[in-house]
Amino acid sequence: MIAMHSGFMCLRKILTTCIFLAGVSFSYAQSPSTTSIDPQNSQAAQSNRRVIGDFADLVEKASPAVVNIRTTERVTVYQVPSNITPQDQAEFLRRFFGIPIPGLPQQQQPKSPNQAGPKSQEQERGTGSGFVIDGSGFILTNAHVVEGATTIYVTLTDKREFKAKLIGSDPKTDVALVKIDASNLIKLPIGESSKVRVGEWVLAIGSPFGFDNTVSAGIVSAKGREVNDSITPFIQTDVAINPGNSGGPLINTRGEVIGINSQIYSKSGGFMGISFAIPIDEAIRISDILRTNGRVVRGRIGITITELNKELAESIGFIGRPRGVLIRGLDPNAPAAQSGIEVGDVILKINDKDIEKGADLTRTVSEVKPGTRVRLLVWHKGVTRELNVPVVEIDTPRKS
């Protein structure tokens, strides 16, 4: 188990309003300017410049692959017949809420069932967005969009509605894969989020507040953002995103999906200029696992870590530039403790890869197949040593 401590806790406090959405909202009023860029710099820059101002054609091609997702859940309700007497009402309260009938001794309280009883009914739970990645009916969305749903309804742009089957969901990355019984669907081409450049134009399509196929545009503001306790390095944009847009696609100017819109930073519950998308490279990797296994199995070694800053480094006698992560806690029954790692140690590398921040370690360990080992370079009271630590399966819903 790897649990981020002070670094992520501080970020969580800052992002108290970084909320999960169930949809996307977009508003774009002006055509972006075509600032001169040296065409020798990048083919992507050339492509971007050619497409700017022509979003209409792009949206026309992409929109049919974007879907609205509506979820319901079945709940138990208790109904009181309209023609019952006050005595019957008192019995109802007694039977279902434990409230005794006034004026009757305990031994005289009735025990027979009332006419009222529990009934199961379906009620709306939430809405979101998604997009087709396979013409045979496979659709990507957010895990939080379908979490807890009894029934998932998918509506296409041509107004056809289907009941969808949940193939699998991974709350850790907020990716879910659903399937509808359809064929020859228009699908979105998959881009490469690893090639996304800060400053490039992007579009979002979704159903903010239930308004289907709403489009907004903006730019990529940053990459590799760590948000809350997620292990996903988000793409940050200034594209307008609002409730109902979760699960919708983030599209580049070549019409390729580069991310799944997932979260926003907000103090009001609405869009305030910062939104986050799951990189499509990671989303597709997770969806492939879900399609094969129905769930994602992750590894853990049983440690609690925190970022190593200058003050912490000086307090433990760590000389040089603060790097790596500090061990704050250990599960005594987990592999790390049994391999000789101690509280106060600093993990510098994993499998020869430098650790600059806690997410580097968390992400790498979580992706290791349980039953295999990782090589850790560990600083211990002034001495570095290499340890081979076995990885075990994370205990759901335990955090890695």
Q: Which domains does the chain have, with CATH numbers?
A: 11-29+44-66+189-283 (2.40.10.10), 299-393 (2.30.42.10)
Query: What mean pLDDT comes out for the span 333-356?
Result: 92
Q: Which pLDDT score, from 0 to 100, does residue 101 have?
A: 56
d(CA 15, CA 8): 10
Give pLDDT tens digits for 71-95: 999 877 656 556 666 666 666 665 6
d(CA 127, CA 161): 14
As a whole number of Å, the end-to-end CA separation of the chain is 4
Check whether 348 has a pLDDT greater than 50. Answer: yes
d(CA 400, CA 143): 18
d(CA 80, CA 119): 11
d(CA 56, CA 25): 17
The pTM assigned to this predicted structure is: 0.73
Check whether 260 has a pLDDT greater than 50. Answer: yes
Of 228-237, 272-281, 348-357, the least confident? 228-237
Burial of 286-319, coded b for 16+ CB within 10 Å and e otherwise, reads bbebbeeeeebebbbbbbbbbbbeeebbeeeebe
Helix, strand, coil distribution of the chain in percent, nearest 5:
20, 35, 40
Check whether 298 has a pLDDT greater than 70. Answer: yes
d(CA 120, CA 76): 4
Percent of the chain at pLDDT > 70 equals 74
* Structure-token match 């974007």, residue found: 66
Check whether 319 has a pLDDT greater than 80. Answer: yes
Strand, coil or helix: 65? helix
Query: What mean pLDDT comes out for the span 368-373?
Result: 92
> 11 — phi, psi (to 5°)?
-65, -40
Q: Which pLDDT score, from 0 to 100, does residue 190 have?
A: 97
Query: What mean pLDDT comes out for the span 385-390?
Result: 94
DSSP-assigned letter for residue 262: E
Q: Are the beta carbons of 363 and 348 closer than 8 angstroms?
A: no
Query: What mean pLDDT comes out for the span 52-61?
Result: 83
Q: How many helices and strands (H and E) does the chain possess? A: 9, 22
d(CA 378, CA 218): 43
Nearest Cα neighbor of 12 from 322, 182, 229, 180 is 229
d(CA 114, CA 95): 8
Give pLDDT tens digits for 8-36: 333 333 344 444 444 433 333 444 444 44
Sign (positive or negative) of CA dihedral 390, 303, 170, 239: negative
Q: Are the beta carbons of 101 and 91 closer than 8 angstroms?
A: yes
Cα Dmax for the chain: 92
Q: Which pLDDT score, from 0 to 100, does residue 24 have?
A: 38
Sign (positive or negative) of CA dihedral 227, 233, 239, 243: negative
Query: What mean pLDDT comes out for the span 325-335?
Result: 93
pLDDT band at 39; cut points 50, 70, 90: very low
Q: Which pLDDT score, from 0 to 100, does residue 76 have?
A: 73
75 vs 72, 78, 121, 162, 166, CA distance in Å? 10, 10, 6, 22, 19
Q: Which pLDDT score, from 0 to 100, does residue 222 have?
A: 95
- 324's tokens: 């790596």
Check whether 346 has a pLDDT greater than 60. Answer: yes
Q: Which pLDDT score, from 0 to 100, does residue 266 have?
A: 80
Q: Where are the alpha helices (DSSP H) in the chain?
A: 6-14, 43-51, 55-62, 86-97, 143-146, 280-293, 310-315, 335-338, 358-366
Q: Give catalytic residue positions.
A: 144, 174, 246
Check whether 353 has a pLDDT greater than 60. Answer: yes
- For residues 56 and 34, the model is more confident at 56
Q: Give the strand pairing for 325-330 and 346-350.
A: antiparallel
**Exposure of 68 by Cβ count < 10 A (0-12 exposed, 13-18 middle, 19+ buried)?**
buried
Residue 57's CB is within 10 A of a number of other CB atoms, namely 10
Give pLDDT tens digits for 104-124: 565 555 554 444 556 777 888
Q: Which pLDDT score, from 0 to 100, does residue 30 have?
A: 43
Give pLDDT tens digits for 153-175: 999 999 999 999 999 999 999 99
Q: Which pLDDT score, from 0 to 100, does residue 33 have?
A: 43
Percent of the chain at pLDDT > 90 equals 55
> 390 — phi, psi (to 5°)?
-70, 150
Q: Are the beta carbons of 241 and 275 closer than 8 angstroms?
A: yes
Average pLDDT taken over every residue of the chain = 81
Q: Which pLDDT score, from 0 to 100, does residue 386 have?
A: 94
